[in-house]
Structure 1
Amino acid sequence: MRGDVVDALKKCAEALQHGNSRLANAEMGRVLDLAGKETEPRTRRLIRYFAQALACRAYGLHPKCFSFQTPDWKYSMCEGYGLFHTVGWAIEDVVKGKRKVHVIELVKHMNGYEQWASFFYGFYDLGDLTHLRLSFLVQENIEFSKESEEKLIRASSHLRIGLEYKIFSVNSFADIDVTLLELQDGEFVVVNCMFVFSKMLSEALALEKLLLTVRDVMKADIMIVAEHDANLNQSNFLLRFDESLEYYSSAFQDLNEYEYDYDLEIEVYYRYQICNMVACKGSNRVERHQTWAQWKSSLFRYGFSIFNLSTDFAEGHFWVKWENGIFVIVSARPEKQPLIFVSAWTTSTFPFKSSGSNEVSCVAKVIEKSSRCSDIDV
Structure 2
Amino acid sequence: MQASQQHRSSVMASGLYHQVKQEVEPFYFSQFPTIDHSLCYNDSNHESHFSVRNSCEHYCTLESSSANCSYTVYNSSAVSFSPNGSRTQQESQSYPSDLHHSADNTYGSPISGSCITEDVSDLRDKLRKLETVMLGPDSDIIDSITSPEMDSWRLVTDAISRGDLKQVLVYCAKAVSDNDLLMAQWLMDELRQMVSVSGEPIQRLGAYMLEGLVARLASSGSSIYKALRCKEPATADLLSYMHILYEVCPYFKFGYMSANGAIAEAMKDEDKVHIIDFQIAQGSQWITLIQAFAARPGGPPHIRITSIDYATSAYAHGGGLNIVGKRLSKLAKHFKVPFEFHAATLSGCDVQQEHLQVRPGEALAVNFAFMLHHMPDESVSTENHRDRLLRLVKSLSPKVVTLVEQESNTNTAPFFPRFLETLNYYTAIFESIDMTLPREHKERINVEQHCLARDVVNIIACEGPERVERRELLGKWRSRFRMAGFTPYPLSSLVNATIKTLHENYCDKYTLEERDGALYLGWMNRDLVASCAWK
Q: TM-score, normalised by structure 1?
A: 0.77
Alignment equivalent of 1:291, drawn from 463, 466, 473: 473
Larger RCO: 1 or 2 (CA < 8 Å, sep 6+): 1
Match runs of 1:146-295 below 5 Å: 151-157=327-333, 160-170=336-346, 172-201=347-376, 204=381, 205-216=384-395, 218-259=396-437, 263-268=444-449, 269-295=451-477
Aligned to 1:315: 500
Match runs of 1:45-56 below 5 Å: 45-56=204-215
Q: Is the 8 A contact 1:310 1:325 kept in 2?
A: no
Q: 1:327 Cα shift?
A: 3.0
In 1: Cα distance, 2:258 partner to 2:516 partner: 16
Q: Is the 8 A contact 2:325 2:342 kept in 1?
A: no
> What's the RMSD between the two structures over aligned residues?
3.2
Would the alpha carbon gap of residues 22 and 116 (structure 1) be closer, same or farther in structure 2, given more than 3 Å must change?
Answer: same
Q: 1:84 Cα shift?
A: 4.4
Q: 1:255 Cα shift?
A: 1.4
Q: Which amino acid aligns with 1:338?
A: D
1:143-194 per-residue CA deviation (whole Å, 9 max, x = no partner) reads 876x866643442246544222222333x32333423544333321101122
Aligned to 1:44: 203
In 1: Cα distance, 2:267 partner to 2:331 partner: 18
Tell me if 1:19 matches 2:179: yes
Higher Cα Rg: structure 1 or 2?
Answer: 2
SS in 1 for 2:164: helix
Q: Where does the alignment leave 5 or more consecutive residues of structure 1 unmatched?
A: 347-378
Q: Which amino acid aligns with 1:290?
A: E
Q: Is the 8 A contact 2:163 2:194 kept in 1?
A: no
SS in 1 for 2:437: coil
- For these two proteins, the number of residue pairs brought into alignment is 337
1:301-332 per-residue CA deviation (whole Å, 9 max, x = no partner) reads 2222221102322231226543333333323x
In 2: Cα distance, 1:131 partner to 1:123 partner: 9
In 1: Cα distance, 2:404 partner to 2:520 partner: 9
Would the alpha carbon gap of residues 52 and 149 (structure 1) be closer, same or farther in structure 2, given more than 3 Å must change?
Answer: closer
In 2: Cα distance, 1:41 partner to 1:222 partner: 42
Would the alpha carbon gap of residues 98 and 123 (structure 1) be closer, same or farther in structure 2, given more than 3 Å must change?
Answer: closer
Q: Where does the alignment leave 5 or more consecutive residues of structure 2 unmatched?
A: 1-106, 108-161, 504-509
Q: Is the 8 A contact 1:13 1:54 kept in 2?
A: yes
Q: Which amino acid aligns with 2:448?
A: E
Q: Which amino acid aligns with 2:301?
A: T
Q: Is the 8 A contact 1:12 1:23 kept in 2?
A: yes
Aligned to 2:221: 62
In 2: Cα distance, 1:60 partner to 1:168 partner: 32
1:351-370 per-residue CA deviation (whole Å, 9 max, x = no partner) reads xxxxxxxxxxxxxxxxxxxx
Match runs of 1:119-158 below 5 Å: 119-121=289-291, 126-127=296-297, 129-140=300-311, 142=319, 151-157=327-333
Q: Which amino acid aligns with 2:214?
A: A
Would the alpha carbon gap of residues 149 and 200 (structure 1) be closer, same or farther in structure 2, given more than 3 Å must change?
Answer: closer
Q: TM-score, normalised by structure 2?
A: 0.56
- Greater alpha carbon shift after TM alignment, 244-253 vs 114-123: 114-123
Q: Is the 8 A contact 1:15 1:23 kept in 2?
A: yes
